[in-house]
Amino acid sequence: MQTLEALTQEAKALANGELTAPETEVARQLQICNACRYCEGFCAMFPAMTRRLEFGKADIHFLANLCHNCGACLHACQYAPPHEFAVNVPQAMATVRGQTYADYAWPAPLGQLYQRNGLTLSIALAAGLALFIWLAAGASTGAKDFYAIFPHNFLVSLFAPVFLFAVLALALGVRRFWRDIGPATTGAPLTPPAAAEATHDVLRLKYLDGGHGEGCNNEDDAFGMSRRRAHHLTFYGFMLCFAATSVATLYHYAFNLPAPYDLPSLPKLLGVVGGVMLCMGTLGLFKLKLQRHPLHGDAAQKPMDYGFIGLLFLISASGLLLWALRGHAQMPLALAIHLGSVMALFATLPYNKFAHGIYRTASLLRHAVEKRQPNRLGLGED
Amino acid sequence: MHTDVLVIGGGNAALCAALMAAEAGASVTLLEAAPREWRGGNSAHTRNLRCMHDAPQDVLVDAYPEEEFWQDLLKVTGGITNEHLARLTIRASSTCRDWMRQHGVHFQPPLSGALHVARTNAFFMGGGKALVNAYYRSAEKLGVQIRYQAQVERIEVEGGRFVAAHVTTPQGTERVSAKSCVLAAGGFESNRDWLREAWGQNERGEWPAENFLIRGTRFNQGTLLKHLLGDHGADRIGDPTQAHMVAIDARAPLYDGGICTRIDCVSLGVVVNRDGARFYDEGEDFWPKRYAIWGRLVAQQPGQIAYSIIDSKAVGRFMPPVFPGVVADSLPELAQKLGLPVERFMQTLNNYNAACREGTFDHTTLDDCHTEGVNPAKTHWARPIDTGPFYAYAVRPGVTFTYLGLKTDDTAAVRFGDMPSPNLFVAGEMMAGNVLGKGYTAGVGMSIGTAFGRIAGTNAARAALEAQHANA
């Protein structure tokens, strides 16, 4: 009941442009930060903050998604708990970010899938596995070829609509986000230099470098590169796996070269390297998250984070296993696990942690635009 | 327990001393009175270091030569300084930053709203707490034994030589002997009884210090300072009422309000006291050069409170205050909301507004907007306060740190009867009064703490290792 009330209240607040409780907390903390500004060198969020005197809903959404949760400002903060000002920007921002993923989700009712995201992912995974194990059971026994178990066109007919829906849902969500934060970030249009800078910052994960290049915080006030590296392994591993699938699709239709592919074919190379990277990256992220300082981030989002990491790990590990098991009797089961987990990921893509990359990229793009516009504030001697 | 070098204190000066002593090969124990989450004393609230340099240096632009730094110090202290120690501090500030970087400190260009010190001050990335964290990490790596919640009530001194310290921790009391010791435990600004006694009663019968706020740590109780001056008769320096003192938001917490409680709009408007009267030229000089005198100015006003008044023209031209101002559409309404005598307040504001000779307003230069025929005059940036809504911020004196301390020399030795101790040294706020007799200029506290912390650490290690050789 309480959750329902909270949801209703939040919906009302959203409709009226009033701040929700997490947004009010961000506004309160940023009022303190804006009077201090010691953390300006760490990331993009603080310089963006200094262009404002007040923090409206759109400003808060923009800034929350600009924050990379690196933790540097928490450990450097003279007002962090136990100080009575209780400033914990990474945590306040993470809470609002979680809210924006749900608020901007399309279609809107499905945003509720973020409320218990661990459960959402578990059900999706269970359904995906059940579907493919059931399908595999119906296939001819002793098949050694993937497509003997699941015909190619049948797989395409299953995955293509789910994937296209996910892309559409994410696009519509981020479009609404973009429209909301645009006017709050000068409203100026995106220019090629701004787009290039933001792309660079996304692909290099610039704001996990601590501003000084020594990296971000994890378990304490020491800086390190492991989070950034694990993130890169995960991201680029995922992209390579995706590229492997895309190239394979091209091979299949354009060159009439159906799977399986062997080393050193391009799909195999991309897939193996990507799979290993994704495995390592997700294991790294999992370990780092376990060790993470308890004040970092929003504890309520841990199931979402672990669920996403776990799903990606399962996909990469089962994909690699598939290679090892080729010709084995267990291969169909491994294939069913792999395809079931991929299906679970795609089906929940607009309602899982994947959204963080999309919304953060949007904020970084708007930040790159805004910083190129003249600042309307003229502080003292500057 | 026993250690080569005992460092008492846990802020910048103490850490500099501990790091230098450990680098010199001594075993070092550092006693921090605060629990871990409050460690670092006032250093956790700092943001930069005033640095001499003859040419542009990474984050520092142009040059800030020794002579100019010295003249700045001479001006703010009104000559109440020790030129030898001041110049030593200044020279050390030009060479210490590579060492600081080695211990994990990062520097960055000046923060927005602080470009006026781009030439003179090197900013710590993330501020003083990031610096303190870096030093603690480095100290741990070098094997320095760090103990938190370790308060030193008294030390044993025999014939000017340090013997041992008596430490109280949550586990009990312990005697810690050491071959040498560095005292870097801060001033007495957090000790409200001592402040009250030092400031005494004024002609209005008030105890002004009762209305002071403390910008920094609550742990600088001055226990050791009092013990050294009183029980051991260590040579003293400084006046107990002199301190780094600024006007801060009256709603700031009693302790640890830090930088964000400052009110930076003084030079853009007028400041009145409880009686609705102006009392000082708000536009005398650039705010960064004047902020450090306003604490004392407010301390001299009735009730130790004053009100910075601006109109809408000033909004967005100064660092945003942490608490919202009192807002009103008219000046009489503003006076009413502040509980000020409306008639007197309006008389002050009307006289001021009528006296403004507006020229070309430019907050980045000493412009020609000034008053004629009011006392006190406002010599720059004087514009009528006439565009609502109007804003007011109540301010009180905020003590950063006190200047009463132990007299020292260029070896950082504590002195008894004008004789230097062979193994007891002092650094940081406990001796800053040697250089700062009064006044303040941004970042110089960290310059003093770093210079004397490093000297004290080096000399403490030398004294300890010499004692070792003598025994061997």
Which residue in B260, B267, B319, B322 has the most chain A C-beta atoms within 10 A of its own C-beta, making it the best mutation to test that interface?
B260
CB contact (8 A) between residue B258 and residue A32: no
**Would you state the pLDDT for residue A331?**
87
In a domain, A331, yes or no: yes
Q: Which two tokens stand for residue A372?
A: 């190129």
CB contact (8 A) between residue B106 and residue A53: no
In a domain, A216, yes or no: yes
CA distance A296 to chain B (A): 16
What per-residue string of b and e applies to B1-30 under the rule 16 or more CB within 10 Å gives b? eebbbbbbbbbbbbbbbbbbbbbbebbbbb
CA distance B237 to chain A (A): 30
CB contact (8 A) between residue B253 and residue A39: no
What per-residue string of b and e applies to B211-241 under the rule 16 or more CB within 10 Å gives b? bbbbbbbbbbbbbbbebbbeebebbbbbebb
The structural domains of chain B, ordered by start, are 2-187+222-239+404-471 (3.50.50.60), 245-398 (3.90.700.10)
CB contact (8 A) between residue A50 and residue B288: no
Rounded Cα distance, A227 and A223, in Å:
10
In a domain, A134, yes or no: yes
ipTM (interface pTM): 0.95
Q: Which two tokens stand for residue B348?
A: 């002050």
- CB under 8 Å to A346, separation ≥6 — which residues? A159, A162, A163, A166
- φ, ψ dihedrals at A25, nearest 5°: -65, -40
CA distance A25 to chain B (A): 14
Check if the beta carbon of residue B106 is closer than 8 Å to that of residue B469. no
**Would you state the pLDDT for residue A9?**
59
Rounded Cα distance, B323 and B45, in Å:
18
Determine the residue type at B155.
Answer: I
* Axis crossing angle, helix A331-348 with helix A302-324, rounded to the nearest 10: 150
Rounded Cα distance, B209 and B213, in Å:
8
Residues of B in contact with A47 (CB under 8 A): 112
Closest Cβ opposite residue B259 in set A36, A211, A214: A36
**Would you state the pLDDT for residue A1?**
39
Check if the beta carbon of residue A98 is closer than 8 Å to that of residue A298. yes
**Would you state the pLDDT for residue A381?**
42
In a domain, A162, yes or no: yes
- CB under 8 Å to A151, separation ≥6 — which residues? none
Residues of B in contact with A27 (CB under 8 A): none
* Axis crossing angle, helix A57-66 with helix A21-36, rounded to the nearest 10: 70
Ranges of residues in chain A whose predicted pLDDT is under 50: 1-2, 380-382
CA distance B365 to chain A (A): 8
- CB under 8 Å to A350, separation ≥6 — which residues? A105, A106, A110, A166, A169, A170, A173
B319 has a chain A CB within 8 A of its CB: yes
In a domain, A233, yes or no: yes
Check if the beta carbon of residue B270 is closer than 8 Å to that of residue B340. no
In a domain, A189, yes or no: no
Check if the beta carbon of residue A218 is closer than 8 Å to that of residue A71. yes
Query: Domain range holding A316?
Result: 115-183+204-353
In a domain, A332, yes or no: yes
Rounded Cα distance, A249 and B178, in Å:
75
pLDDT tens for the 472 residues of chain B, in order: 889 999 999 999 999 999 999 999 999 999 999 999 999 999 999 999 999 999 999 999 999 999 999 999 999 999 999 999 999 999 999 999 999 999 999 999 887 777 778 899 999 999 999 999 999 999 999 999 999 999 999 999 999 999 999 999 999 999 999 999 999 999 999 999 999 999 999 999 999 999 999 999 999 999 999 999 999 999 999 999 999 999 999 999 999 999 999 999 999 999 999 999 999 999 999 888 888 899 999 999 999 999 999 999 999 889 899 999 999 999 999 999 999 999 999 999 999 999 999 899 998 899 999 999 999 999 999 999 999 999 999 999 999 999 999 999 999 999 999 999 999 999 999 999 999 999 999 999 999 999 999 999 999 999 999 887 877 6
**Would you state the pLDDT for residue A377?**
81
B289 has a chain A CB within 8 A of its CB: no
B72 has a chain A CB within 8 A of its CB: no
CB contact (8 A) between residue B317 and residue A77: no
Rounded Cα distance, B229 and B225, in Å:
6
Alpha-carbon separation of residue A366 from A42, A63, A197 (angstroms): 18, 10, 11
Closest Cβ opposite residue A380 in set B38, B124, B287: B287
Using alpha carbons only, what angle is made at residue B260 by residues A77 and A34, rounded to the nearest 5 degrees?
80
Rounded Cα distance, B143 and B161, in Å:
26
In a domain, A101, yes or no: no
A94 sits in which H/E element:
helix A89-104
Total domains in the fold of chain A? 1
Rounded Cα distance, B386 and A159, in Å:
68
In order, the DSSP letters of A145-171 are: SHHHHS-HHHHHHHHHHHHHHHHHHHH
